[in-house]
Amino acid sequence: MLGALRRKVVSGGSSASILGKTLQAIRPGVSASRVSSYAGKEMLLVQARGIAHVRNFSHLVLPGCSAGLANKRDAVCIIQSEAIMQMSCRAFSSGDGDLIDAVVPFMGESISDGTLATFLKKPGDRVTADEPIAQIETDKVTIDVVSPQDGVLQEYVSKEGDTVEPGTRIAVISKSGEGVAAAAPTEKKSEKAACEPSPSAKTVKEEKPKDKVEASPAKEKPKAPSPPPPKRTATEPVLPPKERERRVPMTRLRKRVATRLKDSQNTFAMLTTFNEVDMTNLMKLRSDYKDAFVEKHGVKLGFMSGFVKASVSALQHQPIVNAVIDGDDIIYRDYIDISIVVGTPKGLIVPVVRDADKMNFAEIEKTINNLAKKATDGAISIDEMAGGSFTISNGGVYGSLLSTPIINPPQSAILGMHSIVSRPMVVGGNVVPRPMMYIALTYDHRLIDGREAVFFLRRIKDVIEDPRRLLLDV
């Protein structure tokens, strides 16, 4: 009996008549009119919406009847199995399966949403599988939304500037490309029809001016003289017109940077100490071995690797600088991950050199160059920026002579490098020109005392001025 019911429903028979006959056979006391009053409405819900409506349907058809209830549920469950199978096949398509949705990918454990920044393709453009069609801007990185399959971009279902979450539909891709080109004339016709007012609207518009003209004689009153414009005093400043100003919304990355820097300023008891470094020996080391270094390691020898090695040595001598406050506790880190500040057109990004204490000069230079390139291209990942126990910021590449950097939370200190300037220095009782650099250490005074901060900066100065200390560990 139940198998016959399933075959009749699948073949397209009337759900009301089929179910009525079936229930009369199962339970003769049920009238056909009583069944048909519910079957026509609820049977459609059985196929479309699922088991929750099936059970509701059971109680409506047989209220208070427990004898035939179990059998009827078995019947509709058999019917429902095909509906579930059909719905699961159409989870990411519409119609005959030609249309596919492009959705926002997973953006990282610490990122819950992002802003739809730009569309890289236009509706009607042909796209290939895994080709970026839009960009999502998050608090940390920019993520691409790619096309799931080859086809033609039919339409965007989200707008630029929308806040989207992982799984949000961004665009619709047509695998065959049919219906994409024909969509434009239809839209033009609808726009043209919308612009033309209906005849009734025209009549109303024509009648309104007449009414105004007829009512105007009765409402006319003598107008009061308008007050003269206020005279501008001599001391009042003349502001530029608003037309010469532009208001642009902040990017999510810029807002995140602003929030973190202000939180750092409000949380830490920041203090900065300074020193100056004679770069003569490090510059000579670089000049003597730069060609051999490139030939062997395939990367140029820069100053950053020297300062990273000096910072590692200073952190080993002053481990409190590598620690951080967590509530009422102090967390000492037994690893050294150096964060390097990289300036990009979209804002500051701070990738991390992992286990810098285990790297040599060549490994540090390669890692920094790789991370800097990724940051500039917008291809850096969340994992490559997470963590870090100490930060180095090199404002000297932009010509900065002196600055007070802000701590990168949740770290406790940051080293600021600056430009190299030739200045007169006293060496061996004689005044000679020397390439000098100011260095600055901003630290959390709640955790680090001035003594440790000065010793830390002094260690960096000693290592940079005499790199042989690294070899002898003195």
Q: Please give the positions annotated as active site.
A: 445, 449
CA angle 386, 389, 395 (to 5 degrees): 90
Reply yes or no: is the peptide bond before residue 240 cis, omega within 30 of 0.
no
Strand partners, 320: none
Q: Can you say whether residue 48 is alpha, beta or left, with left for phi > 0 and alpha for psi between -120 and 50 degrees?
A: alpha
How many CA atoms does the CB half-sphere of 270 hold within 13 Å? 22
Between helix 32-48 and helix 15-26 the angle, nearest 10°, is 120
